């Protein structure tokens, strides 16, 4: 049990505590004992992982305050496909946020990565360059360029805008 919030009523007749726990928890004996000692009505409310993270306001792996406690009001779904599209290593500790679910930031750049990935030719694909046809050997997604190898073994890097694909739109 992780208590994340406690609120007294102004007249001190009620104490409400919010907590997070992995499973369903029955604290009736604890509630009675707390009520007797504090001389007020005590409520314990179990809340989910996201509200616990939001209330604790931890820092995320990037060093910033959690998006959910800092500025984010609406939670949109995040999928493992978003991490795959961004070529991130698929590991639970690497992708999980403070709430033990996939980090919300995976959604923020997903659409940009998706567009770049669609425009990027595959490794081994033949493309037309200003210096003739060549095969793609490396894609540089962040720079939006590719390195190509010509028949004479020269390797040059070209921006996507200067290439022509023979079979565009492979997904």
- Sequence spans of domains, the chain: 2-47, 63-115, 121-165
* β-strand partners of 17: 6, 44
CATH architecture type of domain 121-165: Roll (2.30)
Phi-psi region of 58 (alpha: psi -120 to 50; beta: other; left: phi over 0): beta
71-84 burial, b for 16+ CB within 10 Å, e for fewer? Answer: eeeeeeebeeebbe
Question: Token digits for 142?
Answer: 């962040």
pLDDT, tens digit (0-9, with 9 covering 90-100), for 77-110: 888 888 888 888 877 677 877 777 788 888 888 8
CB-based contacts of 90: which residues, under 8 Å, 6+ apart?
80, 83, 84
List of the chain residues with pLDDT < 70:
92, 167-171
């Amino acid at each position: 049990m992780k208590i994340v919030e406690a609120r007294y009523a102004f007249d001190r007749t009620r104490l409400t505590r919010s907590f997070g726990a992995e499973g369903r928890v029955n604290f009736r004996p604890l509630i009675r004992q707390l009520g007797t000692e504090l001389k007020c009505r005590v409520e314990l409310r179990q809340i989910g992982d996201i509200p616990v993270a939001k209330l604790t306001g931890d820092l995320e792996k990037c060093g910033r305050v959690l998006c959910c406690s800092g500025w984010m009001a609406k939670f949109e779904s995040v999928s493992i496909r978003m991490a795959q599209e961004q070529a991130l290593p698929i590991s639970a500790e690497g992708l999980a946020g403070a709430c033990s679910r996939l980090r919300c930031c995976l959604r923020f750049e997903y659409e940009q990565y998706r567009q770049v990935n669609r425009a990027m030719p595959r490794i081994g694909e033949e493309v037309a360059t200003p210096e003739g046809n060549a095969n793609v050997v490396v894609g540089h997604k962040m720079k939006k360029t590719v390195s190509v190898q010509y028949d004479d073994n020269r390797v040059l890097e070209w921006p996507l805008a200067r290439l022509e694909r023979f079979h565009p739109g492979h997904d």
